[in-house]
Chain A
Amino acid sequence: MALSRDQMAIRVARELQDGYYVNLGIGIPTLVANHVPEGMDVMLQSENGLLGMGPFPTEDQVDPDLINAGKQLVTTAKGASIFSSAESFAMIRGGKVDLTVLGAFEVDVHGNIASWMIPGKLIKGMGGAMDLVAGADNIVVMMTHADKYGNSKLLPQCNLPLTGAGCITQVLTDLAYVEIRDGKFHLVERAPGVSVEEIVEKTAGEMVVPDHVPEIQF
């Protein structure tokens, strides 16, 4: 069975380490925050200028001056700091954020990512995504393996306009955990009950398959 959104978040959360500063993109990546392992301290960075993002406020905590990068009301966690957008992107560009998780439309064997624009549809903008992929060393892309028409999103070459070139090395889809190196996808883990054949069939780019591909355990 393909992984649910929460199962995807649980798997990505295993990449967290105690003391990590983490930026979670809008959409499915935000679910990772719900699965931080017990006893582990992780600080969430929100690129509008907040390090140490807390949960949504209760009604009596609502503060219009305190939002996240998705423009949602939030709170501050203990030990948080607040700063300007320039400072925020300085820490991103400077490679200080330990882990970045973001969604994508397409990823290819060269580590290119397309996540911000579909020609013909209204272009809303890249927000901070281009800065994040250019600045971070440790990025996990979280997306479905195929689009809603069944087309593979793991390609020999991205078709859509790029968000960043050669910057992606790890992809977690609803079917598999895949690494990118040497111009190829490498199958590392598979969703429980999903066959290697199915994954390979749904991967348009070249995929290297080791002898043993363990199932992701829950």
Chain B
Amino acid sequence: MAGFDKVVNTYEEAMAGLEDGMTVIAGGFGICGIPENLINQIKKMGTKELTIISNNCGIDGFGLGVLLEDRQIKKMVSSYVGENKLFEEQLLSGQLEVELTPQGTLAEKMRAAGAGIPAFYTATGYGTDIGKGKDVREFNGRKYILEESIPGDFSIVKAWKADRYGNAIYRNTAMNFNPMAATAGKICVMEVEEIVEPGELDPMYIHTPGIYVDRLIQGTFEKRIEKRTVREG
């Protein structure tokens, strides 16, 4: 099958073309809904000087945290970091640069990038250090700061199911940043738990339309749990 078929068969193919110094936009919140295998492929490739746009940087030994082990990340753009020791070490020693961005602003920067909007005004961060040096405008008596969108060279995202055309559905809160991340990269690589034939998914329930997806691969996932909060049954 060709045409709209986005399926690739190996992770080498999935991440082909990723080069040193590129910007990668990753879906996931904490280690929920992260593209585990695509991250591991980047580790295997040894690509360096990467700028990673992701809400968090994984944990030690899992998720984006593995890219810190060989110092592959130059800069992180995130809303919350520091769940990993290695991250802290590299940050304090100056090997790693971090641009902290409010979570909603980060989501909107991705969404805007994918929607062809170069910048937007938001009240978030006005009057704080985040707003310093940014253009301020008043609308209806309230002050807003100008935030620029963040396009990437690659998007790496994780969905639950997709058809071969890349029409995808996410599962529970593993959706998080994935739909916006999918739209924001020049090349969007999506990994899923199951690939089905076109027509098998109800078009009414597609979260990410296939037009955003360039490469699709089926993988198996560990789905590690960061905080195992369980109550007595």
A, B bound = yes
Residues of A within 8 A of B (CB): 46-50, 55-60, 62-68, 70-74, 76, 82-86, 88-89, 92-93, 112, 122-131, 134-135, 161-166
Say yes or no: is B46 at the interface (Cβ < 8 Å to chain A). Answer: no
Asked if B104 and A135 sit within 8 Å, CB to CB, the answer is yes
Q: Shortest Cβ distance from A13 into chain B, in angstroms?
A: 20
Question: Chain A residues near B15 (CB, 8 Å)?
Answer: none
B40 interfacial by beta-carbon distance below 8 Å: no
Q: 12 interchain pairs (CB within 8 A)?
A: A49-B176, A64-B32, A64-B224, A73-B229, A73-B230, A84-B107, A88-B107, A126-B79, A128-B104, A135-B104, A161-B129, A162-B127
Verify if B226 is at the interface (C-beta below 8 Å from A): yes
In the complex, what residues of A have CB within 8 A of residue B225's CB? 62, 64, 73
Q: Interface size of B by Cβ–Cβ distance < 8 Å?
A: 57
Counting CB contacts under 8 A, is B11 at the interface?
no
- Decide if B30 is an interface residue (CB 8 Å cutoff): yes
Q: Which of A83, A84, A131 contacts B105 (CB 8 A)?
A: A131
Residues of chain B contacted by A62 (CB below 8 angstroms): 225, 228, 230
Residue of B nearest to A110 (CB): B127
For B96-138 the 0/1 string (1 means CB < 8 A from A) is 0010101111111011000000000011111111100000000
The residue on B at minimum CB distance from A85 is B107
Inside 8 A of A126's CB, which chain B residues have their CB? 79-80, 100, 102-103, 130
- Inter-chain CA distance A84–B229, complex, in Å, is 23
Contact A72 B229 (CB under 8 A): yes
Q: In whole angstroms, how far apart are the Cα atoms of A46 and B98 in the complex?
A: 25
B81 contacts the other chain (CB 8 A): yes
- Decide: B172 and A65 in contact? CB cutoff 8 A: yes
Assess whether A161 is in contact with B128, with CB atoms less than 8 Å apart. yes
The answer, among B125, B178, B224, B232, for a CB contact under 8 Å with A84, is B178
Q: Which residue of A lies closest to B232 (CB)?
A: A58
**Which B residues are CB-close (under 8 A) to A66?**
172-174
Question: B residues within 8 A CB of A163?
Answer: 128
User: Counting CB contacts under 8 A, is B20 at the interface?
Assistant: no
Question: Which residues of the other chain, A, contact B230 by a CB distance below 8 angstroms?
Answer: 56-59, 62, 73
CA distance A57 to B173 in the complex (A): 14
With A58-B231, A67-B32 known, 11 other A-B pairs at CB within 8 A are A49-B176, A57-B230, A67-B173, A67-B226, A76-B172, A89-B105, A122-B88, A124-B80, A124-B81, A131-B105, A134-B124
A82-B175, A112-B127 known; A89 vs B233 contact (CB < 8 Å):
no
Does B65 touch A at the CB level, under 8 Å?
no
Given the contacts A122-B88, A161-B128, A127 and B176 also touching, CB distance less than 8 Å? no
Identify the 10 closest CB pairs spanning chains A and B, nearest first.
Answer: A165-B127, A89-B104, A131-B104, A58-B233, A125-B80, A128-B103, A64-B223, A124-B82, A85-B107, A130-B102
Q: 0/1 per residue, B152-166, Cβ < 8 Å to A?
A: 000000001000000
By the criterion CB–CB under 8 Å, are B124 and A135 in contact? Answer: yes
Q: Does B35 contact A (CB under 8 A)?
A: no
Look across to chain B and name the residue whose beta carbon is closest to the beta carbon of A126: B102
Contacts of A72 in B (CB 8 A): 227, 229
Query: Are B227 and A71 in contact, CB atoms less than 8 angstroms apart?
Result: yes
Q: Are B177 and A84 in contact (CB under 8 A)?
A: yes
- Tell me the minimal C-beta distance from A171 to chain B in angstroms: 18
Interface members, chain B 16-65 (any A CB < 8 Å): 29-33, 55
